[in-house]
Chain A
């Protein structure tokens, strides 16, 4: 910790404004100090907080494995599901984690194409989060089925029964959408990592050097390599961009194509995407604030960056709020008894508490970011980001459970209560996510060094103007 706090190379008194623009990296860093700073995190022993959090995360992971073991042994009945409510926390968690997995690729791909250079501070971090969130999410469709050992029936594998999956089923679309998203996100992340892995390799010795050398794929930083690299990166960004929009749209069709009142609405795909970006940014914010504090990255992930993220949270949060109101309007406008009841029941029925938690967290909380002071306050944004995470989990809960709990025939209505195994599985999923994430922090550069360097004045010494400079 103490080592990290020292920045012997930098000039703390250096100007933070060049040519009338605020610098993206503050604190007087030059290339060397930046490299030392970021590489030092993975080269030195992790801080004691890391060990503490890592122990907790691995415990959580064990919890998850235990809960899944019990589930496989005993059956789906260990969860709180019942007859009308066929989908409960497992699906809620799936959508929640997939949603979180939106921010990374959005930041790295869409913001890249939109030339938002502030993204470089957080993109590596967010991408890693995306991948781990998607991995965590993918656990749930696998374990939520009744016969887990036959879940592979969902894949189009040629088989002796000559049966293919049902291509009309949105669950199958999910398999493809999430699978593709995961593949492209991972590729994108890895491609972005190559120059930084090479940097680490050059600073390493012995086995570590060999391992890093393998993954750096012979990167030497030559012009030709950079040329190919930039092209590949651009192309992957182009590929990833529609996926950001498609993956949650497809997840939304799980609900939207069904006929359950409260699910059966055309607004779902865009509404889900907005919600996903919202929740993804919430999670990036939470994680960034913690990592920034622990690793002393205040100069790289500056308040300016955070403020920009808060603006996105405000925008997407308002979009989500708009969607909530639209749902009510359309339900009323349709004059369909079942639709109207589904929404009134959400807000005033037995799950009203969940609905209002969701509404408060998702719609009211982001509105504080209209105020610049609050937008730039670290404690405020930290609490708000937690609220967003909570609210978005509840949104999925409200959608999934309240709709199923009371559908068409009142005779089959029932109330869903989670069992202890639902709760342990959910808690355990954080263990899985954080285990991955902490290993990432420990072994890989959490800031995209090469990209950050590209947006520093030094990268373009003659015509520094950050709106035009940087990696292209």
Chain B
């Protein structure tokens, strides 16, 4: 900006006066702020006029601050910001808090607009991978239904009014030390939050701070508290574990730190050849998780009896000579199974790992820690750490708080995030208590169930709009904003810091101040910039905690592990975090609602999952309505029958039945109605009867019970060994070429001269079914990268789901207790593609580098290509799905990928936009494409590295190496379409002791 002075009064123009203003210290301060608000000046009445002048200037000179650029209008840069090339994305590291855990991110930003989330390669947990929740945050950021304005008693207000109201309130508490004041927050692990929480406690010593989450690791922490004396977290090292026993733990998907654990666990299953070995996974569970699907042996046990099983296992281990005293229980579990597992664990002492899921009560975790210690696993496959910056949910104190509220002891309640009205257990009458609180504030991203009942609702900023920090899992990191708050939101640190200080303080200053203590002394600015740039630092504030055997043993002996078995008259209900909605935080996220549950393949609904036998006894079938009753309360849920579920168990997902926006409206039912504080995850004493009517469920596989009739079921079982080729490690060693056994005996011949693809770069993909857990991260990553539309429940139930990656799920073996197989299927990019020949307008053709391409502009939509595709991976735009896309959601779209109009066919492109970027870059640098230049979205997201992609003509590329393995096979290879995607046959590693004598459960014999 020019600062030339013009003394000619006549010619003195507005612009120059702005320049003058720009030199004032006030404006300079404003300009340096991340988000010029100027609102703090309002507190000083003298400067109010000045403020208004400043606001005018700051708006007119928005470019001067150059922190964020306007998003609505396309205006060319007059002065181009450094390092920004229009059309070339930039990447920023940040972190995503998720309860008490967090994920390290690298976010792609197009001209100041974040468009895609990836894992941060340098982050020890994510290592560049992601899960569905990370990917879905992109759409949460651009949720048009997010709260946009401060509300007081339901009427629009503003931040200044809120702030003024709190200052008035704070005056009261300054005198009495905070008596009658309470803060209710979500669980966190953040140094800055902990610092503020401590400051809050100092300022208001009589005030309460309560933490509550609907879904949390509280049981695990409590269990380890009994075993170590600390609220410690177990850290599992799956890379060191040869035998893993998972007790109702879904460590591959829903439990904490799933990305790292998925990667570590499958790293021991990356079988290169028959000479390698692999780990072994035993799973004991009542639900059917994807972890159960990966199991080499899975035992169906009602979730409520998993504790008893653990006790029985301890007894068996003790009987087999392990030094621990087991609690006494009378159990009738499969003796052979128990013996074999115990023997396997003992045989692998120091290399085994037992872990229990977050649903299991604390005493199970104590016992598991004891077992691990007896197996010499402590500090080998499991270690314990205490995180001083972490605050986990505390149900007990939440119950206490609610009691105080109902008694009228709480005058002011500040709810920082979360949604306690929706999430509170039904017997904890939070809603009634809230009515008795005179002054309540709710910080929330949406105007939700809680917001409508509090005095103040203040909009919460998304983490991609905020400064913050995280700590745990071997280091610490900083959350930096990618974009200015879209809807005038503030984050938790902003609000809390503001409550504690006289002047306005913003999170950036708070976080910097916190980190000035964390970072090693020296050049703070340099170190700070380093952490912001990397997103993560090794500086670890966690404290290693030792296992206290005597303490654990005492706790175990005095605990009760017995549990009566559930029966039809006394059914068990298991509440699980939703695979897609989690605790409800993704309820208004179309990607997540439309993402099929990995196992049931149901979208847009939560269901009552029951086993085949239970369904028979209740006389219900899929899509029937089930009336579930408990203690006078009824709930009707649609039935979905899931083979492999424990008998007399109903599994239901949390997070549904919300109405916070256009997506969540009318989706599913709220099952919190049944949740009691004493039985948050596993409850008993339920009955169920068939209710009249049916409920349409949009399922993307086995549509309309297409696999139900015997004819189809037989055909599927007959085809399955060819489609998903599977063997055991032992059989593989005997017959290394088993994956080829199904191939046509005669050499496949083509009717015409085949194109020569031996030259140049030729793209190919290999998917290892042994490592694929079925987590669906690839599906959402693909949706985010490729602008795949959301079509809604009705269209999904019409069988028109648009996912480019279809995650096929098959059951094999025993009908009632089957094994589960996953197979991600996207366009296979056949060299002899059957789709290409039949297109009358040549809209789908083959590229020189072996891609099967779609020219959307040329496509007229005959759908002939889709008919002729044996993999059925082409997706047709039956309607114009993006017609009503709100402008704000349009910002989530990847600008490098075309939005498809109705009437056009689409499908996996092997992320051709990424290939082209890499090609251009290589060309600019005057070199050939190298391995790793192109990483496709699904491959990047995959937490288990199951997907390899690259140049199949490069003998040293990863994909060539994987394709050279003897497990590699082409899906439907006998059709001689020569697909570029191939699959690595699935291997399991069953315990021979459990195989002999039992009827063969594997289907390929």
Contacts and interface: CB of A to CB of B under 8 A. Distances in A.
Interface string B692-711: 00000000011110110101
B54 interface: no
Interface in B694-738: 701-704, 706-707, 709, 711-712, 715-716, 718-719, 722-723
B861 A146 contact: yes
Contact of A169 (B795, B837, B877, B975): B837
Contacts of A74: 879
A415 B834 CA distance: 23
Contacts of B823: 411
A257 B838 contact: yes
A169 B716 contact: no
B806 A411 contact: yes
7 contacts: A86-B866, A146-B904, A147-B859, A169-B839, A337-B719, A408-B975, A411-B808
Question: Nearest 10 pairs between A and B by C-beta?
Answer: A146-B861, A146-B903, A82-B799, A77-B878, A86-B863, A412-B872, A411-B808, A147-B903, A171-B840, A166-B842
Interface residues of A, number: 54
Nearest to A413: B706
B863 A146 contact: yes
B886 interface: no
B862 interface: yes
Contacts of B702: 413
B903 A76 contact: yes
A196 interface: no
A114 interface: no
Given A86-B867, A164-B842, A166-B837, A259 B975 contact: yes
Contact of A414 (B706, B866, B868): B706
Nearest to B722: A337
Contact of B716 (A76, A348, A410): A410
Interface string A88-109: 0000000000000000000000
A341 interface: yes
B872 A163 contact: no
Given A166-B841, A348-B711, A414-B704, A77 B863 contact: no
A146 B837 contact: no
A349 interface: yes
A53 interface: no
Contacts of B662: none
Nearest to A169: B840
Given A83-B875, A410-B810, A411-B806, 16 more contacts: A75-B878, A76-B903, A77-B902, A81-B878, A83-B872, A86-B867, A87-B864, A146-B903, A148-B903, A153-B858, A153-B860, A166-B841, A169-B837, A171-B862, A408-B870, A411-B701
Interface in B798-841: 798-801, 806, 808-810, 823, 825, 834, 837-841
Interface string A40-83: 00000000000000000000000000000000001111001111
Contacts of A217: none
B799 A147 contact: no
A172 B839 CA distance: 9
B876 A76 contact: yes
Nearest to B844: A166
A277 B703 CA distance: 37
B15 interface: no
B955 to A, nearest CB: 32
B840 A337 contact: no
Contact of A146 (B706, B839, B870, B902): B902
A85 B869 CA distance: 11
A285 to B, nearest CB: 33
A209 to B, nearest CB: 46
Contact of B864 (A80, A83, A86, A165): A86
Contacts of A406: 706, 712, 715
A87 B863 contact: yes
Contacts of A87: 863-864, 867
Interface in A207-255: 254
Contact-residue bracket for chain B: 35 or more
Contacts of B801: 83
Nearest to B975: A259
B183 to A, nearest CB: 49
A86 B876 contact: yes
A168 interface: yes
A140 B718 CA distance: 38
B757 interface: no
Contacts of A407: 870, 872
Contacts of A260: 867-868, 870
A172 B863 contact: no
B972 interface: yes
B879 A145 contact: no
A345 interface: yes
A142 to B, nearest CB: 11
A11 to B, nearest CB: 60
A87 B876 CA distance: 12
Contacts of B863: 81, 86-87, 146
B880 interface: yes
Interface string A328-351: 000000000100010011001110
Given A86-B864, A409-B871, A415 B718 contact: no
A287 B716 CA distance: 47
A85 B861 CA distance: 14
Contact of A75 (B723, B870, B902, B905): B902
Interface string A381-424: 00000000000000000000000101111111111000000000
A254 to B, nearest CB: 8
A98 B714 CA distance: 38
B903 A83 contact: no
B880 A75 contact: yes
Nearest to B873: A412
A144 interface: yes
A259 B865 CA distance: 11
B704 A415 contact: yes
A151 interface: yes
A158 B676 CA distance: 73
Given A145-B861, A146-B863, A337-B719, A75 B903 contact: yes
Contact of B719 (A75, A259, A410, A415): A410
Nearest to A345: B711
Given A84-B872, A258-B838, A409-B825, A414 B799 contact: yes
A412 B840 CA distance: 25
A395 to B, nearest CB: 18
Given A75-B903, A154-B860, A259-B868, A146 B838 contact: no
Interface string A184-216: 000000000000000000000000000000000
A14 interface: no
A400 to B, nearest CB: 9
A3 interface: no
A282 interface: no
Nearest to A400: B867
Interface string A145-187: 1111011011000000001111011111001000000000000
Contacts of A169: 837-840, 864
Given A75-B903, A166-B841, A409-B723, A404 B860 contact: no
Contacts of B716: 410
Contacts of A404: 867
Nearest to A257: B838
A144 B876 CA distance: 13
Contact of B866 (A83, A144, A170, A350): A83
Interface string A11-39: 00000000000000000000000000000
Interface in B563-578: none
Contacts of B903: 75-76, 145-148
B727 to A, nearest CB: 20
B879 A77 contact: yes
Nearest to A86: B863
Interface string B843-867: 0000000000000001111111011
B868 A146 contact: no
A76 B715 CA distance: 31
